[in-house]
């Protein structure tokens, strides 16, 4: 079948989820000028394609994909290759809901090819394809039978501004089984809103360099979810500067400060429990101080219920499973609905 397909560069359909156009690669998350400005680990992680996606319309009876990875690590010990390095395809149902359709399983470095869906019923429909969470891509192509229709999806009717998430490995998507299961992706589908994912594994630390870059964006909402990578003293020192930097640049954009999730083993272990308590107390104090000084449009999401209370939603006490991401998205949803 491959010889009967026509291949289309995904960039022709428009890449959603990018905060900046001036990136080194079409699938980078920070602008090229950020290299040397942010710490090297942040820069390297920004070259992962987490959160990037494309929407398109096609009447093809089958959809294949081929993609070229930039990193040799296809999987991690606690996260499957489908999430780290795979593609994830959704189709829009007649009622407007997004329905999962197929996943591109990576099997080699650097080049991969997979059929995402076949035996599709006749008719044109809208699709959404997500790119890898913990790897980068240098190229992505869709393979459709010759003569099939393929075009950009229509613009979103009323939500053109993005939700901008800044955070840690959890924001980046660790350890979702596939890219569409990260809570950021779930919320983007539920709210029909583009999402910019600026999660940096182990490196979401409210740094001033990132704050200045965030201030260049014009989002629907800023979501700051950095506590899993910070100790209480850092939270106390950095929250105010981050918020003031954003507020000066974007006086009207809501800012949502998010507490860290409860460690799944905190019910028995005092160390994780104390870590949660100290960082949350520091964030609550910073939030109260900013409100007292007159910062407006500042909102707060407690962390206690982000993953539920049964300890069943992580792979390692910290990183969510798909269940954990679903619960986290449900906790975010009513707050973001109000802010939008």
Contact 310, 266 (CB under 8 A): no
Q: What is the pLDDT of residue 136?
A: 98
Domains by residue range for the chain, with CATH: 2-16+52-152 (2.60.120.260), 163-339 (3.40.50.1110)
Q: What is the pLDDT of residue 2?
A: 46
pLDDT in tens, the chain (340 residues): 445 999 999 999 999 999 999 999 999 999 999 999 999 999 999 999 999 999 999 999 999 999 999 999 999 999 999 999 999 999 999 999 999 999 999 999 999 999 999 999 999 999 999 999 999 999 999 999 999 999 999 988 777 899 999 999 999 999 999 999 999 999 999 999 999 999 999 999 999 999 999 999 999 999 999 999 999 999 999 999 999 999 999 999 999 999 999 999 999 999 999 999 999 999 999 999 999 999 999 999 999 999 999 999 999 999 999 999 999 999 999 999 999 9
Q: Residue 220 phi/psi, 5° resolution?
A: -70, -40
Q: What is the pLDDT of residue 1?
A: 46
Question: What is the spatial distance between Cα 340 and Cα 336, in angstroms, rounded to a whole number?
Answer: 6
Contact 257, 298 (CB under 8 A): yes
User: Angle at which helices 183-191 and 322-339 pack, to 10 degrees?
Assistant: 40
The gap between the terminal CA atoms of the chain, to the nearest Å, is 45
Q: What is the pLDDT of residue 156?
A: 81
DSSP secondary structure letters along 67-111: EEES-S---BTTB-HHHHH-EEEEEE-TTS-EEEEEEE---SSSE
């Amino acid at each position: 079948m491959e010889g009967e397909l026509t291949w289309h560069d995904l960039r022709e359909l428009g890449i959603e989820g990018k905060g900046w156009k001036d990136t080194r690669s079409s699938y980078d998350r920070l602008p090229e000028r950020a290299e040397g400005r942010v710490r090297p680990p942040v820069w390297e992680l920004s070259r992962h394609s987490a959160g990037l996606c494309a929407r398109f319309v096609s009447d093809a009876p089958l959809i294949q994909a081929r993609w070229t990875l930039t990193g040799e690590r296809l999987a991690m010990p606690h996260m499957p290759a489908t999430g780290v390095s795979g593609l994830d395809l959704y189709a829009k149902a007649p009622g407007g809901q997004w329905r999962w359709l197929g996943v591109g399983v990576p099997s080699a470095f650097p080049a991969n090819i997979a059929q995402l869906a076949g035996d599709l019923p006749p008719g044109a429909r809208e699709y959404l394809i997500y790119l890898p969470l913990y790897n980068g891509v240098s190229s992505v192509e869709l393979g459709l039978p010759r003569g099939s229709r393929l075009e950009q999806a229509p613009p979103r009717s009323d939500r053109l501004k993005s939700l901008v998430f800044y955070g840690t490995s959890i924001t980046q998507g660790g350890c979702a089984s596939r890219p569409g299961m990260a809570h950021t992706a779930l919320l983007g589908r539920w709210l029909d809103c583009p999402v910019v994912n600026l999660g940096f594994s182990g490196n979401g630390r409210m740094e001033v360099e990132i704050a200045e870059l965030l201030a260049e964006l014009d989002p629907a909402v800023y979501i700051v979810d950095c506590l899993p990578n910070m100790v209480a003293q850092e939270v106390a020192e950095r929250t105010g500067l981050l918020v003031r930097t954003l507020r000066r640049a974007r006086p009207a954009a809501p800012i949502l400060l998010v507490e860290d999730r409860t460690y799944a083993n905190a019910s028995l272990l005092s160390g994780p429990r104390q870590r949660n308590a100290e960082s949350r107390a520091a964030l609550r104090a910073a939030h109260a101080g900013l409100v007292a000084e007159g910062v407006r449009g500042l909102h707060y999401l407690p962390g206690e219920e982000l993953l539920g209370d049964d300890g069943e939603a992580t792979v390692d006490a910290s990183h969510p499973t798909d269940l954990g991401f679903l619960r986290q998205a449900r906790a975010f949803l009513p707050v973001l609905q109000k802010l939008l």
